[in-house]
Amino acid sequence: MLILIGQCLIQGLMMGSIFGFVTIGMVLIYRVTKLLNFSHGAWLMVAMYISYILFVKFRIEPYLSVLIAFPALFLLAALVYYVVMRPLGMKGHIIMMCQVSLGLLWILENSALLVFKADYRSVQSVLSNSKFYIGPLIIKTPLFIAFLTVGIIAIVLGWVLYKTDFGLSVRAISQHEEAAKLMGINIGRVQLLVFAIGIAIMGIAGPLLVPWIVITPHAGAEFTFLGFVILILAGLGNLNGALIGGLIIGIAESFGGTFMPGALASVPAYVIFILVLCFRPQGLFGAR
Amino acid sequence: MLRVEGINAGYFQTRILREVSIEIGEREIVALVGANGAGKSTLVKVLSGLIKPTSGKIMLNGEEVTGASPKKMVNRGVILVPEGRWLFPLMTTLENLFIGGINPRSRPSREATLRMVFEIFPVLWERRNQEAGTLSGGQQQMLAIGRGLMAKPILLALDEPSLGLGPLLVAEIFRVMKQLREQGVTILLVEQNIRQSLAISDHGYVIENGAVVLHGTGSELLEDERTKRAYLGM
Amino acid sequence: MIKMQSVSRARFIALCMGFLVLICLPALVSPYWLRIFNFILMWTLWCTSLNISMGMTGMFNMGHVINIGLGAYTSTYLFLNFGISPWVGMVAGCIVSALIAMFITYVAFRYKIAHLAYGLITMGFAFIVMYIISAIPALGAINGLNIPRKNDPFMFLFGDSVPYYYIILIFAAGTIALYRVIDKQKLGIYFKAIRENEKAAEASGINILKYKLVSSVLSAIPAAIGGTFYAQYIGFIDPHSTMGIMLVVQMILFTAVGGFGLLWGPTVACFILIPLGEKLNSILGVEYSGAPQIIYGIIVIAVILLMPDGIVGWLSHQWSLYRNRSVGSDSLREIPS
């Protein structure tokens, strides 16, 4: 039993780090552009499908497809932001930006439905089934690789945020946008870049998930939902909280998946969500 | 150096500034005085690019900069230290100063400018790693001015720098302003503290209900009854 | 002014004529098109009820789909398991819907960050309810529930599209009337005050929580009624189609196209977009079964960008421009000195 719990924990931590990673993009976008990106998870789904096509048509390993997915998402997101979000943002129509992000979710999910139908797809890559052992605990290799990669990128992001001028600009805008204007910062450009990067990092997470997760067009909304649960858990706008919240939800999902019957697997996560809302609405960490 | 002609500006549908014209010469200290809500802060925000005037002209060293973005104004050396300071609360003193110098004009010499700022405000060096939100009022004001200096201003606009500060600190800040003038910085001072600001200025403007009602040298305005009336809103 | 009177008279006549046409519709169009009109009217009902909480009160209500789904599932469950007429079940559905809507609004209210957080929280709840229903076998789980097809008016079942048409016409018209009534009452003013500036509204003494609760209930009830209608008309409900998030996303998008906070916004949007979708579907065929949706999405985004107040908003803006064309207007109001 102890082993099972340990297994759950490890698995949950690793899955959770990926959830947290997805949520960090959401938090950054929210802090800098004030947009709650309802389409966020959909981009992850797009990245997974890109990886899928590359594998099926060109035999490219998912891990390599990051090299294509990341720039593709970056460019597409930058284009979308420039054409569609920026005009609204500059006029301060934040609710409309959220509605537009709903429109994006709509377009992305239905595009996937159009091309791939609603079937479940999966990729059997070289590493799909490999695993290794730490003591009595089984660790699935693809999950572990995903965990490591996400961790490294999170560290890189942290470095950029705290050690570069660009990161300084990002933090300035998220703390006091008007003051940032007085510093001569090009607000529009930073917002564009943050949006594009926040979405492009899904171009990394997506292919990482592909070897062992089932791909469906609906995965988009589901990941967005999980992201929002974590956001609320952490406190809207809290970066570190997003990571930790991700871990918590990851563990909850892991335990749920192991100990609860099929469809109720996510119940522990929902329970946490509702409990936090009822007893600590500002999130575990408040807004920082 | 800076000429403002006939500026009309406001928020949403309400007009705050009416036909405001002022002139600031190089290396001058110019004061803008008036009661609360008279429009001083609005004028300064227009100059810094945060608010776009609905009509009028702003000329900086012969170049028209009416309606320019804050970024453009900063790149031309027009720096505003706003009322309320607008520090970045979760950044350290050092980071706040660093970001003050982030624009392309001041970036190359940022390290040197930083040292200069620490010389002017030694207390900032002591508290360089402290989060700006935890500093005292006086220290925050010094940080705000220091951050403005990091951008190597040719025109430094200070909006209510003495607000909420004790007399010692206020004297310190006025001393710093004189020192800056020596070093070639032009200063536009918006203040409710009439006596000290008019005493230090070359000339000043009195603003009442969004319009310039008086203009003269510091001493002229100090002696004028109308100044006091405008300030007290009588 | 005579001009004003003739405008409202013209509007009233147009309304009556439109209604007359709608009443005679079954005799005028083919069964195929009648079916489409049923959908149009159902969506009009859903979008207009959404407009109450989202358009008038400014709550980013992603939980609207819960109202619909609970209405559908409650009446269906009572019908299939206890033989209770869906007419009665509809009322039960309204009650369940209203209670859950109030609960969610209450919980979200405690969050105290307007607009956006409400959208998050309601989206979260929408997913949760959908997943919970997917897990309960008694409610059909993922496979959903089937309602028998037969002709039994007392059990809200008809063999033909026509009775359904008149029912949904009445429901939709009723919802629009409800919206209009609220709009013109003090209630509407409070709702709009909350939408425009919640803090200011609170400062002027409006009990925000109470009115948000009222708004969500008034929004939920027509939706639940629509949900029951859907179950009875379509004959099949499952978590994905009846409680899925994409349903409310589509509603929000439609209403955005028509114009939030405008009486006829949702109606106009549904009358344009649904037939458009049908046409696209028939042109592109089953092969391209996601295509109309994509085109919807693009249209919506274009409309939001170009016509921030929706089609109806844009039209009324053009109309008032036309009427004021001879009157110049100053861009700034003076403060009296």
Q: Is residue B220 part of a domain?
A: yes
- Return mean pLDDT, chain C: 84
**What is the total count of domains within chain B?**
1
Report the half-sphere exposure of C229 (CA within 13 A, side-chain side): 24
The residue written with tokens 């997805």 in the block is A22
Q: How far apart are CA B181 and CA B31, in angstroms?
A: 14
DSSP state of B212: E
What's the confidence (pLDDT) of residue A15?
87
What's the confidence (pLDDT) of residue C289?
67
Could you tell me the pLDDT band of residue C98, with boundaries at 50, 70 and 90?
very high
Q: What residue in A sits closest to C256 (Cα-Cα)?
A: A99
Contacts across the B-C interface (CB distance below 8 Å)? 18
With beta carbons under 8 A apart, name residues in chain C contacting A107: 293-294, 297-298, 301
**Contact across the interface for C301 and A84, Cβ inside 8 Å:** yes
Q: Is residue A257 part of a domain?
A: no
Residues 228-247 on C with a CB inside 8 Å of A are 245-246
Bridge partners (DSSP) listed for residue B216: B204
Mean pLDDT of C126-145: 83
Please tell me which residue, C141 or B171, carries the higher pLDDT value: B171
What's the confidence (pLDDT) of residue A12?
87
Q: Is residue B121 part of a domain?
A: no
Q: Is residue A191 part of a domain?
A: yes
**Residues spanned by the domain of A117:** 12-216
**Where is average pLDDT lowest: A132-141, A207-216, B170-179, C230-239?**
A132-141
With beta carbons under 8 A apart, name residues in chain C contacting B15: 332-335
- Does residue C333 belong to the interface with chain B, where contact is any CB pair within 8 Å? yes
Q: Are B108 and B124 in contact (CB under 8 A)?
A: no
- Residue B219 to chain A, least CA–CA distance (Å): 33
Q: Are B136 and B126 in contact (CB under 8 A)?
A: no
Q: How far apart are CA C69 and CA A161, in angstroms?
A: 44
Partner-chain residue, chosen from A99, A222, A232, that has the shortest CB–CB distance to C121: A232
Partner-chain residue, chosen from A182, A185, A186, that has the shortest CB–CB distance to B86: A182
Has residue C337 got a pLDDT over 60? no
Q: What residue in B sits closest to A172 (Cα-Cα)?
A: B88
Partner-chain residue, chosen from A107, A224, A273, that has the shortest CB–CB distance to C297: A107
The pair phi, psi for residue C2, each rounded to 5°, is -65, -35
Partner-chain residue, chosen from A36, A264, A274, that has the shortest CB–CB distance to C119: A36
Partner-chain residue, chosen from C331, C333, C337, that has the shortest CB–CB distance to B209: C337
Please tell me which residue, B149 or C323, carries the higher pLDDT value: B149
Structure tokens at C219: 């929004």
Mean pLDDT of B6-21: 80
**Contact across the interface for B209 and C331, Cβ inside 8 Å:** no
B74, B99, B155, B159: best to mutate for the A interface, most A CBs within 10 A:
B99
Q: Which tens digits make up the pLDDT trace of B183-220?
A: 888 999 998 778 888 888 888 888 888 888 888 888 88
DSSP state of C335: P
Among A179, C185, A7, A183, residue whose Cα is nearest residue B84 = A179
Q: What is the ipTM of this complex?
A: 0.88
**Contact across the interface for B16 and C332, Cβ inside 8 Å:** no
**Contact across the interface for B15 and C337, Cβ inside 8 Å:** no
Q: Are C256 and C54 in contact (CB under 8 A)?
A: no
| E strand or H helix at A174 | helix A165-175
Q: How far apart are CA A76 and CA A47, in angstroms?
A: 12
What's the confidence (pLDDT) of residue C150?
80
**Contact across the interface for B88 and A179, Cβ inside 8 Å:** yes
What's the confidence (pLDDT) of residue C334?
40
Among C108, C112, C53, residue whose Cα is nearest residue C261 = C53
Has residue C107 got a pLDDT over 70? yes
**Contact across the interface for B16 and C335, Cβ inside 8 Å:** yes
Q: How far apart are CA B142 and CA B160, in angstroms?
A: 12
% chain B with pLDDT above 70: 97
**Residues spanned by the domain of B219:** 1-67+155-164+182-234
Please name the residues in contact with B168: beta carbons below 8 A apart, sequence gap of 6 or more.
Answer: none
What's the confidence (pLDDT) of residue A240?
81
Q: How far apart are CA B69 and CA A38, in angstroms?
A: 31
Q: Which tens digits make up the pLDDT trace of B103-134?
A: 998 899 999 999 999 998 888 998 889 999 89
- Does residue C335 belong to the interface with chain B, where contact is any CB pair within 8 Å? yes
Has residue C323 got a pLDDT over 80? no
What's the confidence (pLDDT) of residue C157?
81
Q: Is residue A233 part of a domain?
A: no
Mean pLDDT of B61-81: 90
What's the confidence (pLDDT) of residue C336?
43
CATH of the domain at B229: 3.40.50.300
With beta carbons under 8 A apart, name residues in chain B contacting C329: none
- Residue A261 to chain C, least CA–CA distance (Å): 9
Runs of H (alpha helix) within chain C: 2-28, 31-50, 64-82, 86-109, 116-135, 161-184, 186-196, 198-203, 208-234, 239-243, 245-258, 265-284, 291-306, 310-323
- Residue C294 to chain B, least CA–CA distance (Å): 37
Q: How far apart are CA C227 and CA C94, in angstroms?
A: 9
With beta carbons under 8 A apart, name residues in chain C contacting B16: 335
Contacts across the A-C interface (CB distance below 8 Å)? 122
DSSP letters of A72-129? HHHHHHHHHIIIIIHHHHHTT-HHHHHHHHHHHHHHHHHHHHHHHTT--B----TTTT
Mean pLDDT of B84-100: 92
Contacts across the A-B interface (CB distance below 8 Å)? 64
Among A126, A145, A166, A115, residue whose Cα is nearest residue A208 = A145
What's the confidence (pLDDT) of residue A202?
92
What's the confidence (pLDDT) of residue A138?
80
Q: Is residue B95 part of a domain?
A: no
At residue A215's C-alpha, the angle toward residues A209 and A219, to 5°, is 90
With beta carbons under 8 A apart, name residues in chain B contacting C334: 15
- Residue A36 to chain C, least CA–CA distance (Å): 7
Q: How far apart are CA A255 and CA A5, in angstroms?
A: 8
Has residue C139 got a pLDDT over 70? yes
Q: State how far the alpha carbon of C101 is from the alpha carbons of B78, C69, C75, C86, C106, in Å.
A: 53, 12, 17, 21, 8
Q: State how far the alpha carbon of A253 is from the alpha carbons of A14, A16, A268, B190, in Å.
A: 11, 9, 7, 58
**Contact across the interface for C121 and A277, Cβ inside 8 Å:** yes
Q: Which is it for the CA torsion C294, A24, A225, A89, positive or negative?
A: negative
The pair phi, psi for residue A48, each rounded to 5°, is -65, -40
Bridge partners (DSSP) listed for residue B20: B7
By DSSP bridging, strand B29-34 and strand B203-208 are parallel
**What is the total count of domains within chain A?**
1
With beta carbons under 8 A apart, name residues in chain A contacting B48: 182
- From edge to edge, which strands make up the β-sheet containing B14-24? B14-24, B2-11, B55-60, B63-64
With beta carbons under 8 A apart, name residues in chain B contacting C337: 209
Partner-chain residue, chosen from A168, A181, A288, that has the shortest CB–CB distance to B102: A168
- Does residue A181 belong to the interface with chain B, where contact is any CB pair within 8 Å? yes
Q: What residue in A sits closest to B147 (Cα-Cα)?
A: A183
Report the half-sphere exposure of B147 (CA within 13 A, side-chain side): 31
Q: What residue in A sits closest to B87 (Cα-Cα)?
A: A179
Q: What do you get for the CA distance between the two ends of chain C, in Å? A: 34
What's the confidence (pLDDT) of residue C325?
67
What's the confidence (pLDDT) of residue C215?
93
What's the confidence (pLDDT) of residue B189?
92
**Contact across the interface for C124 and A107, Cβ inside 8 Å:** no
With beta carbons under 8 A apart, name residues in chain B contacting C196: none
% chain C with pLDDT above 70: 91
Residue type, B167: P
Classify residue B20 as exposed, middle or buried by CB count within 10 Å of its CB (0-12, 13-18, 19+).
buried
The tens place of each residue's pLDDT in chain A, 288 residues long, gives 777 888 888 888 888 888 899 899 999 999 999 888 999 999 999 999 999 888 888 888 888 889 999 999 999 999 999 998 888 887 778 888 888 999 999 899 888 888 887 777 777 777 667 777 777 778 888 888 888 998 999 899 999 999 999 999 999 999 999 999 999 999 999 999 999 999 999 999 988 888 878 888 888 777 888 888 888 888 777 788 888 888 888 888 888 878 777 667 778 888 888 888 878 777 777 654
Could you tell me the pLDDT band of residue C335, with boundaries at 50, 70 and 90?
very low
Q: What residue in B sits closest to C334 (Cα-Cα)?
A: B15
Q: Which of A132-136, B178-182, C42-46 reaches the highest mean pLDDT?
A: C42-46
Q: Are C50 and C252 in contact (CB under 8 A)?
A: yes
Q: What residue in B sits closest to A186 (Cα-Cα)?
A: B71
- Does residue A288 belong to the interface with chain B, where contact is any CB pair within 8 Å? yes
What's the confidence (pLDDT) of residue A176?
92
Q: What residue in C sits closest to A278 (Cα-Cα)?
A: C107
- Does residue C326 belong to the interface with chain B, where contact is any CB pair within 8 Å? no
What's the confidence (pLDDT) of residue C332?
43
Q: Are B77 and B150 in contact (CB under 8 A)?
A: no
Q: How far apart are CA A94 and CA A88, in angstroms?
A: 7
Please name the residues in contact with B136: beta carbons below 8 A apart, sequence gap of 6 or more.
Answer: none
Q: Is residue B137 part of a domain?
A: no
A182, A186, A285: best to mutate for the B interface, most B CBs within 10 A:
A182
Q: How far apart are CA C109 and CA C326, in angstroms?
A: 47
The residue written with tokens 């999130």 in the block is A283
Partner-chain residue, chosen from A165, A171, A288, that has the shortest CB–CB distance to B91: A171
CB atoms within 10 A of CB B14: 10
Q: Is residue A254 part of a domain?
A: no
With beta carbons under 8 A apart, name residues in chain A contacting B88: 171-172, 175-176, 179
- Does residue A179 belong to the interface with chain B, where contact is any CB pair within 8 Å? yes
**Contact across the interface for B86 and A171, Cβ inside 8 Å:** no
pTM of the model: 0.88
Residues of B with CB under 8 A from a CB of A: 48-50, 70-71, 74-75, 79-80, 82, 86-91, 95, 98-100, 102-104, 107, 151
**Contact across the interface for A225 and C245, Cβ inside 8 Å:** yes
Please name the residues in contact with C311: beta carbons below 8 A apart, sequence gap of 6 or more.
Answer: C257, C258, C259, C265, C268, C269, C272, C303
| E strand or H helix at A64 | helix A62-80
